[in-house]
Amino acid sequence: MKISKSFVLKGGAAAQTYLPLKQQRASVDIDLITSLKPNEIKEIFMNQINKLDFATVKIHKPKKFKDKLPLITYLIDLPSITKEEETIQLKVDILFEEIESYKVEEIKNKELFALKIENKIPCIKLGSLVADKLLTLASKSIGIDESRQEQLPKHVYDLIRLMDLMKIEDFNDLLFSFEKISKAEMRFRGISHELPGVIEHIKEILIEFAKVDIEDKKFKKLITDFQSAYVNRESRKSLQEWAIDCLKLNYLVKVIKDVLVDKKDNNERYNKFVEFKKEFEDIVKMSVDDKKSLRENLLKEANEKLKYWKFLKGKSEERIFLELKQLDW
């Protein structure tokens, strides 16, 4: 099926196109953004796709429907490619967003959920995806609300993997979209939060999430449920690794604030971000003896600076390093 150039792939499905097949997580829906009008979308989905012999389309209205939510959801029943005589249901969320808030590219010859994408498909670029997914974490303002917090793990899962792929051009795309998306979301919701407040909301979620291996918080169950349902065994991580990922993402948020709020130089901040990642990777690559020595020093520092330092005694050197590092953020 060809996707019209009037639609742009975003969200989890878009994120997976940038990841190796073995790292891709499962997804039950596809997000598209468009500048088309509702009647034009209805023509495509109900009149064109619905006429195909193998597809059945219907409009979906969620139980907790919000009239102001700028989207239309379609459910498409398609033949299963793994089990004959069975069908699968594809949920397609079409969001009426300002496409100009994103950097977009056409993708081709990619593998998505073990399917090859042969036709060119407009897709949000990596940096813009990172911006969009980070902003979903701003639960107190423009992000996903309390009732949908089970979705948080999938965003963190995608974010850490996309972050590891970022180059300087992706970082610049991130900055471009972060500001534009946040302004558009605030405009739509009729709220007046300033950018520093939105950034702080993201940091609060990441800091809370990063305690998942220390305190038995709600995120522990959310992570377990998410990994069981959507992540293959080889790509699943321990709670400590999830905590590490959240702390690394928190540093990225700091760098974003440095540029967009404190008006520091893009390139200089990106280089700091690269240095941070290298410092972390150097610890990962250390010999056993070097790690033992580092561990003693880190725990000594933690004893001086952190009230909960004893909780870190059984953690990895990388975990302790990041817990201390964030004190400077």
Section 20-37 average pLDDT: 84
pLDDT tens by residue, 86-134 = 666 778 888 888 888 999 998 876 766 656 666 788 999 999 999 999 9
Both 196 and 166 in a single domain? yes
146 and 262 housed in the same domain? yes
pLDDT digits (tens, 9 = 90+) for 33-57: 988 887 787 777 766 665 565 667 7
pLDDT at res. 80: 57
**Are 262 and 174 in a shared domain?**
yes
Report the pLDDT averaged over residues 203-211.
93
Confidence of residue 67 (pLDDT cuts 50, 70, 90): very low
Beta strand 71-79 with 7-10 is unpaired
Same-domain pairing of 189 and 247: yes
pLDDT of residue 114: 56
Q: Which token pair is 180?
A: 């534009």
CA-closest candidate to residue 143, choices 92, 204, 71, 96: 204
pLDDT, the chain, mean:
86
- 19 shares its domain with 157: no
Whole-number pLDDT of residue 223: 94
SS3 111: strand
* Phi, then psi, of 103 in degrees rounded to 5: -90, 130
Q: Where are the beta strands (DSSP E) in the chain?
A: 7-10, 29-34, 56-60, 71-79, 87-96, 104-107, 110-112, 115-117, 121-124
Which residues is 122 bridged to in the sheet?
A: 106
The pLDDT of residue 56 is: 72
Q: pTM higher than 0.85 for the full model?
A: yes
Give the end of a domain, one of 124, 140, 169: 124
Q: Is the pLDDT of residue 5 over 80?
A: no
**Mean pLDDT in residue range 287-304:** 95
Question: Of 124, 149, 178, which residue sits at a domain end?
Answer: 124
pLDDT recorded at residue 95:
85
**Residue that finishes a domain, picked among 79, 108, 124:** 124
Q: Is residue 291 part of a domain?
A: no
Residue-level pLDDT at 126: 97
Same domain, yes or no, for 174 and 81? no
Task: Report angle CA 208, 210, 212 to the nearest 5 degrees.
Answer: 85
Q: Give percent of the chain above pLDDT 70.
A: 84
Q: Is residue 273 part of a domain?
A: yes
Does residue 143 belong to any structural domain of this protein? yes
**Cα dihedral 59/65/69/74 (nearest 10):** -20
Do 25 and 57 belong to one domain? Answer: yes
Residue 322 falls inside a structural domain:
no
Considering the domain architecture, whether residues 204 and 61 belong to the same structural domain is answered as no
Burial of 46 (0-12, 13-18, 19+ CB in 10 A): middle
| Domain-located, residue 186 | yes
For residues 9-21, give the mean pLDDT.
89
295 domain residue, yes or no: no
- 131 lies in the same domain as 173: yes
In this model, does residue 62 exceed pLDDT 70?
no
Q: Are residues 55 and 194 in the same domain?
A: no
User: Residue 49: what pLDDT?
Assistant: 62
Asked if 95 and 202 sit in the same domain, the reply is no
Assess if residue 297 is contained within a domain.
no
Shared-domain flag, residues 168 and 101: no
Number of domains in the chain: 2
pLDDT in tens, 135-162: 999 988 899 888 888 889 999 999 999 9
CA distance 268 to 255: 10
Range of the domain at 145: 126-285
Whether residue 97 lies inside any domain: the answer is: yes
CATH number of the domain where residue 50 is located: 3.10.450
